[in-house]
Chains A and B, each alone.
Chain A
């Protein structure tokens, strides 16, 4: 198998609304920044893959407009997933592993500001039994939080601690949208308070992947992808044990997470209660630094927040702040789909 690494990562300053720019205008500076980090031009890239969702924009094939930001002429090798960019990265990783490309540009973006993201996300649910009731993502996460509290895995004060820790960590992150909590925020859907929920916002991210010696040439300390896997739970919420995430655990096992300790975890847990589930599934002890970026509680741009977890974990390895890190991305209600990546830097 070829060695593949994350060699560059860039993201936008996430904001509640970016009405002044179109998707491509939001994305383009981020693409340029990622390519500039490794002094590559768009035409040097072997494969380009993106993630986004038409439901956020309310328009069909909205990703084709954003392609203008890549420079798609003459024709490039390109693909798109209607998902978080973490899954686009998975596709690009496979493309490089199979020898079809030596470098890849992965990007994703989401503007939640044009619509009501809580209503929009109800449309991804089972259309026969669930979607006609319009339960929003906060409601479904709150059902999961109640189950965790009932099972004795957490408590409302402990969840408040997760929120406070995440937002405080985000003060060192210039791209974060939210860096503080208001004490005793009101319930959005009980038992989840405002502080337990992610901010709604717009943002974009880009990552450059490279294989073997190309990665070594482009980056002083590449973040090698040692394993990457994604798994899914049963569709129906009522058949799942909401206090556990067997799909995350299986993906982690297949990605090799449990073979050696990690020092850093970037978890895509949009709700405080979901960090509790993921810590258990990934067997993370207190010695592991969780979401030093602030995580999705500090900025949760739809379709980009998962890719950003991979980027933040890689950037810590690039800087020498981490030697072995785990990055996680999720999609769907109550951690329905989960992707786990294990990243390593060369021994210093």
Chain B
């Protein structure tokens, strides 16, 4: 059979998130080289701070400042940093309990090698040169040579800064290789030869196009391939009045469901070759192939008499 197709698929999204009062103070503080925590009802200091106590779920608002030095509570050596991770050279992932805090925060530790890292070691924040109010304002941690302030107690802080950060934009990109599977590969391969191939359900005998390998009614595999069309009937349609970005089609145009001859499921396509206000249900159409092949660019009227409603009403 045809080799299964695959193609790169990139998903990119810049998530814009608003911050509550506690997260806003913490991230603005990082911009100003100040680390804030939040004090709980039982006098524990959580860093990074959260708005609700993870144990009692009581609301937390009492901000405190803690040190920029701390102690490693656990670590893991990462010999092969990923493209988005804080350092491009091998580094240690660490949980660090900052001086004055009772909980630990996750970050990266820049160290010479795994032998230079240990639980209990003293570390300090290395600030990013440019800071915007994000967790990455901490470029990483680095071993503390002892000149940093030690065992600093948490001190009260208003959490107020000029020009506070109220939101973050978190960009993300994930790369995939998409494979459509056997049935859709067969369909796409046939399109390259300007053929429309559906698949028949062995149980209910209906022909599905585009085929996805399963009959959605019977839940069984579809294997038998059936050439359908090229002629078809418009079962229903709509008039598109808004131009899609990056799509070079003049509005208004008609988008329709088309029941290809021999198929039991309508597929959709654009209707061209006549004014938009002359398209009607029952109109007979045929595909106009894109110049480099591979897919029908649109469908145009064949000039045949309209199909009788009873012949396509099951597919409306």
Contact = CB atoms under 8 A, between A and B. Distances in A.
A68 interface: yes
A131 B182 CA distance: 36
A19 B6 contact: yes
B214 A139 contact: no
A28 interface: yes
B76 interface: yes
Contact of B76 (A68, A72, A113, A142): A142
Given A28-B221, A129-B48, A133-B135, A238 B93 contact: no
B178 interface: yes
A19 to B, nearest CB: 4
Given A22-B183, A24-B213, A133-B107, A147 B175 contact: no
Interface string B179-223: 111111000000000000000000000000000111111111100
A68 B184 CA distance: 14
Interface string B72-83: 011111110010
A128 B75 CA distance: 21
A234 B106 contact: no
Interface stretch (B11-19, B151-159, B249-257, B296-304): B11-19
Contacts of A242: 74
B215 A68 contact: yes
Contact of A235 (B6, B47, B54): B54
B216 A58 contact: no
A20 B4 contact: yes
A208 to B, nearest CB: 14
B181 A22 contact: yes
B54 A234 contact: yes
Interface in A18-42: 19-25, 28, 31-32, 42
B166 interface: no
Contacts of A132: 134-136, 170
Nearest to A19: B179
Interface string A226-240: 000000001111110
Which range holds the interface residue count of chain B?
35 or more
B86 interface: yes
Given A21-B182, A190-B79, A190-B114, A128 B135 contact: yes
Contacts of B103: 236, 238-239
A187 B15 contact: no
B98 to A, nearest CB: 10
A42 B181 contact: no
A189 B74 contact: no
B79 A21 contact: no
Interface in A96-128: 113-116, 118-120, 123, 127-128
Interface string A31-75: 110000000001000000000000101100000010111111100
A102 B97 CA distance: 52
Most buried by B among A131, A132, A146, A190: A146
B96 to A, nearest CB: 8
Contact of B9 (A21, A32, A58): A58
A57 B74 CA distance: 33
Contact of A25 (B15, B74, B181): B181
A73 B85 contact: no
Contacts of A58: 9, 11, 174, 176, 178
Contacts of A25: 181-183, 213-214, 221
Nearest to B136: A132
B189 to A, nearest CB: 14
A238 B106 contact: yes
B233 interface: no
Interface string B1-33: 000101001010001010100010001000000
Nearest to B118: A150
Given A21-B213, A115-B174, A236-B103, 6 more contacts: A22-B181, A22-B213, A58-B11, A134-B85, A143-B74, A146-B119
Interface of B: 4, 6, 9, 11, 15, 17, 19, 23, 27, 46-48, 50, 54-55, 73-79, 82, 84-86, 93-95, 97, 103-108, 114, 119, 134-136, 168, 170, 172, 174-184, 212-221
